[in-house]
């Protein structure tokens, strides 16, 4: 991680309220200023809170982004939000292909790659999520599944890959309280790193996500190919989120 700045990113999913967000963001903003080692911090929030987050976090050490985007630039796509719209709210980041989007909305890996390309074109940094189910892992198919999910993204080329982030989130560890061991996570991160390296992007950051908490974060971050975390539930409490970020240092 010597040449790859650690990144800790919160994914609020469909949680939040104006009053609750204000307290959470104030706590994160205040705590971020005192972190040693200065890992990069960001939160990805529901669309409706982007204006609030922009107002609270402007000129802070914490970035912000969205949890999804449309593959379309504009047009008759009711309910969709474009990359350009996100950029107008100061977003730097956007999640692409979270397992919940893949499972609940049928997003294909090709669509996820197209969204990532659209994000890059608008000046956003896509965080492309990949991960296997428990059935995949038990069948010994983890490498194959991850490879299939990555292939359309790898096809974007070295320049695009150098400007995005990959997040490995084993589906069986998301929101279950069950985390991959540091060794299990590192094994998959190493596979992803090797694939990126074959496409000229070995220094692309790879995050781990899946029940990351302050008490397991340090062991995960100690692994050579884990560059930070995509944090779900623990990002909804400032102390927990900052505790994870502090573990990077």
Q: Find where tokens 């969205």 sit.
A: 66
Q: Please tell me the distance from the alpha carbon of residue 117 to that of residue 112, in angstroms, as a whole number.
A: 9
pLDDT in tens, the chain (249 residues): 447 999 999 999 999 999 999 999 999 999 998 887 779 999 999 999 999 999 999 999 999 999 999 999 999 999 999 999 999 999 999 999 999 999 999 999 999 999 999 999 999 999 999 999 999 999 999 999 999 999 999 999 999 999 999 999 999 887 777 778 999 999 999 999 999 999 999 999 999 998 899 999 999 999 999 999 999 999 999 999 999 999 986
Among candidates 21, 41, 63, which has minimal Cα distance to 237?
21
For 235, counting Cβ atoms within 10 Å of its Cβ (0-12 exposed, 13-18 middle, 19+ buried), the class is buried
Q: Find where tokens 């999913």 sit.
A: 13
Q: Please tell me the distance from the alpha carbon of residue 3 to that of residue 193, in angstroms, as a whole number.
A: 14
For 5, counting Cβ atoms within 10 Å of its Cβ (0-12 exposed, 13-18 middle, 19+ buried), the class is middle
Bridge partners, 128 (sequence order): 96, 166
Catalytic residue status for 40: no
Query: Which pLDDT does position 63 carry in this prediction?
Result: 97
Q: Please tell me the distance from the alpha carbon of residue 94 to that of residue 128, in angstroms, as a whole number.
A: 9
Q: Please tell me the distance from the alpha carbon of residue 37 to that of residue 8, in angstroms, as a whole number.
A: 12
Active-site residue, from 40, 107, 132, 169: 169
Q: Please tell me the distance from the alpha carbon of residue 223 to that of residue 70, in angstroms, as a whole number.
A: 34
Tokens of 41: 């911090």
Among candidates 240, 239, 220, which has minimal Cα distance to 228?
220
Active-site residue, from 98, 100, 132, 199: 98
Q: What domains can be seen in the chain, in order of their start residue?
A: 7-248 (3.20.20.70)
Catalytic residue status for 98: yes
């Amino acid at each position: 991680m010597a040449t790859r700045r650690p990144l800790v990113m919160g994914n609020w999913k469909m949680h939040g309220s104006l009053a609750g967000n204000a307290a959470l963001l104030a706590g994160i903003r205040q705590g971020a200023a005192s972190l040693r080692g200065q890992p990069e911090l960001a939160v990805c929030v529901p669309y409706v809170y982007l204006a609030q987050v922009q107002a609270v976090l402007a000129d802070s050490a914490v970035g912000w982004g969205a949890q999804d985007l449309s593959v379309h630039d504009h047009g008759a796509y009711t309910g969709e939000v474009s990359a350009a719209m996100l950029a107008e709210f100061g977003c730097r980041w956007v999640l692409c292909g979270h397992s919940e989007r893949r499972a609940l909305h049928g997003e294909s890996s090709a669509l996820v790659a197209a969204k990532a390309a659209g994000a890059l074109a608008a000046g956003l940094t896509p965080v492309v999520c990949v991960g296997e189910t428990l059935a995949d892992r038990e069948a010994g198919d983890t490498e194959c599944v991850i490879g299939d999910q990555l292939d359309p993204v790898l096809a974007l080329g070295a320049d695009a890959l150098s400007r995005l982030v990959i997040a490995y989130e084993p589906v069986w560890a998301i929101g279950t309280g069950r985390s991959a061991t540091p060794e299990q996570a590192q094994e998959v991160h190493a596979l992803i790193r090797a694939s990126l390296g074959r496409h000229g992007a070995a220094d692309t950051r790879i995050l781990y996500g899946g029940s990351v908490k302050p008490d397991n974060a340090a062991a995960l971050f100690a692994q050579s190919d884990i560059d930070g975390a995509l944090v779900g539930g623990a990002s909804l409490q400032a102390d927990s989120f900052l505790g994870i970020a502090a573990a990077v240092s």
